Chains A and B, each alone.
Chain A
């Protein structure tokens, strides 16, 4: 039977652009170009590699976001994913991680899955908790922050690299994995892939399709709120240590003073 993989991705403001908050302290999406989060490209890549290694697999790429978020889906489809699901609803504006994980979970159940693959975090919110929330809502095991991942014999296995040790982890399917930016560079779409992507199906859903109450999402339904945002203050000039034989000690003293060592 076909291995059903769902990759949850996010459409984010270009991290290399000049990013701002909107007046209601949500992400300003108008002033800067959006794209498929670079951290999610790793998830798409790993899903493609898993699918290529499997006899029979189908990749659905899923996003929750405004109309432009289709661009993120197209990118993933042009890389090689088979079909897409786009959840779009005006009531979703300002949704936090709790609401996002709720909508994603319902959409993943709707799509049908054996394996959910996500990135390690988004490049805009960078909360990094959606994978765990999602697994919890779906009631499936989670193996997160993997730098290597493979599927065989009804199990997903992988390696999680920590500061002190590398762990080999596994879970039986259905399961959720998140992959890090160390899992391997994402491929470029080919021109043929881009053309083929235009013909691949994108299913559009709104909250009512998923049976979600609008009160549970959006700014009003959020468990967290941004109270205030300010631009990062300009960097101060810093301290220059001139080495006159004691430079190393001075550097160490500086680091110790600021509790880095």
Chain B
């Protein structure tokens, strides 16, 4: 029987276990995450207990090995889980993406001892992570970061300020990139810093346009002592570690953007089928039908693009250009689709009584984080035409 109106996204999934995982995710999203989303976002409330719940369900370590408590899932599956979570509430979807990024350094570059000690808590859901790369004066130019790490006996002492840190002040651990050597990319090392380390403090969260439930804050490091056993990888390898996680993080944002766009389309579709003007549902009017068709087409194209990049990653092939394209296209799509959704709801769409204005505010940040969309275009262009000449 053909059904009309908002429907669950039909997905091609590689295994039965992946289908079960998506069903579990949808169940959690619909019953536990979506209902409180609007009120909590308006109040700027961070849903820490939601992360505990989805951590217990096994959603905080999906793309990492089962040996360390992860879910052993390919990116193709993990990203679709993210999409569903972000559709219910971006604060949760983006939070899982950031947490997953924060686990990347230990999971891929940590020693066997470091992985055995830290990963079970990080992947098992009891520990929520944050990722500290950006600084007040180094964003897109990440290699210019100035936070210092100085060797002091068996410890390192970290001093400096990190900026735009998702979960800043709320995280249980921080993956921190700091300068342990000279200028440039090769002077940077990676450290795993506990959230309660003396000298670590978070500024009050930024007052953002959207995504208000997710704390974004500067994090200050004031003589924070970290034992050398918490240095991840070799000294000077930090920037390479950060870059290794970047492409995967971009795919996470692409999936989140697709979720927000899908949620906006679903809300708009539900509305135009109910709203009557001139004695008929406004969904009868071709001008609006064409908008719906364009929105759905762009979302589906974005989903196909991020999944194509994910499948490249899962098969061990280079996926950097495809990841940049997916981040660029899916987040621009989210901006366009959420703007159209507001338009489809008319005056109601502009009020906080309906969710689409929130989706529109949330979409905007996705064009900025994990590399602005201008940076993504640079990445794509470099893959096509090589590096820019500096002469």
Contacts and interface: CB of A to CB of B under 8 A. Distances in A.
29 contacts: A78-B20, A188-B24, A188-B27, A188-B28, A188-B53, A188-B56, A188-B57, A189-B24, A189-B57, A190-B56, A190-B57, A190-B58, A191-B20, A191-B21, A191-B24, A191-B57, A191-B58, A191-B59, A191-B62, A191-B71, A192-B58, A192-B71, A194-B17, A194-B20, A194-B21, A194-B24, A195-B17, A198-B16, A198-B17
A117 to B, nearest CB: 23
Nearest to A192: B58
A168 B228 CA distance: 59
Interface string B49-76: 0000100111100100000000100000
Which 4 pairs between the two chains have the least Cβ-Cβ distance? A191-B58, A190-B58, A194-B20, A190-B57
A192 to B, nearest CB: 5
Given A194-B17, A195-B20, 6 more contacts: A188-B28, A188-B57, A191-B24, A191-B57, A191-B71, A195-B17
Nearest to B59: A191
Contacts of B24: 188-189, 191, 194
Contacts of A191: 20-21, 24, 57-59, 62, 71
Interface of A: 78, 188-192, 194-195, 198
A189 B21 CA distance: 10
A191 B56 CA distance: 9
Contacts of A195: 17, 20
Contacts of A189: 24, 57
The dominant DSSP class at the B interface is: helix
Interface string B19-35: 01100100110000000
A37 to B, nearest CB: 16
Contacts of A192: 58, 71
Nearest to B28: A188
A194 B24 CA distance: 9
Of the candidates A78, A191, A195, A198, the one having the most CB atoms from chain B within 10 angstroms of its own CB is A191
Of the candidates B28, B56, B57, B59, the one having the most CB atoms from chain A within 10 angstroms of its own CB is B57
Nearest to A189: B24
B81 to A, nearest CB: 9
A198 B56 CA distance: 19
Contacts of A188: 24, 27-28, 53, 56-57
Nearest to A193: B58
Nearest to A78: B20
Nearest to B81: A191
Of the candidates B17, B58, B62, the one having the most CB atoms from chain A within 10 angstroms of its own CB is B58
B307 to A, nearest CB: 20
Interface in B165-200: none
Nearest to A194: B20
Contacts of B16: 198
Contacts of B21: 191, 194
A190 B62 CA distance: 12
B23 to A, nearest CB: 9
A195 B62 CA distance: 13
B50 to A, nearest CB: 12
Contacts of A78: 20
Nearest to A191: B58
A195 B24 CA distance: 12
B58 to A, nearest CB: 3
Contacts of B59: 191
A179 to B, nearest CB: 20
A216 B103 CA distance: 60
Contacts of A190: 56-58
A132 to B, nearest CB: 31
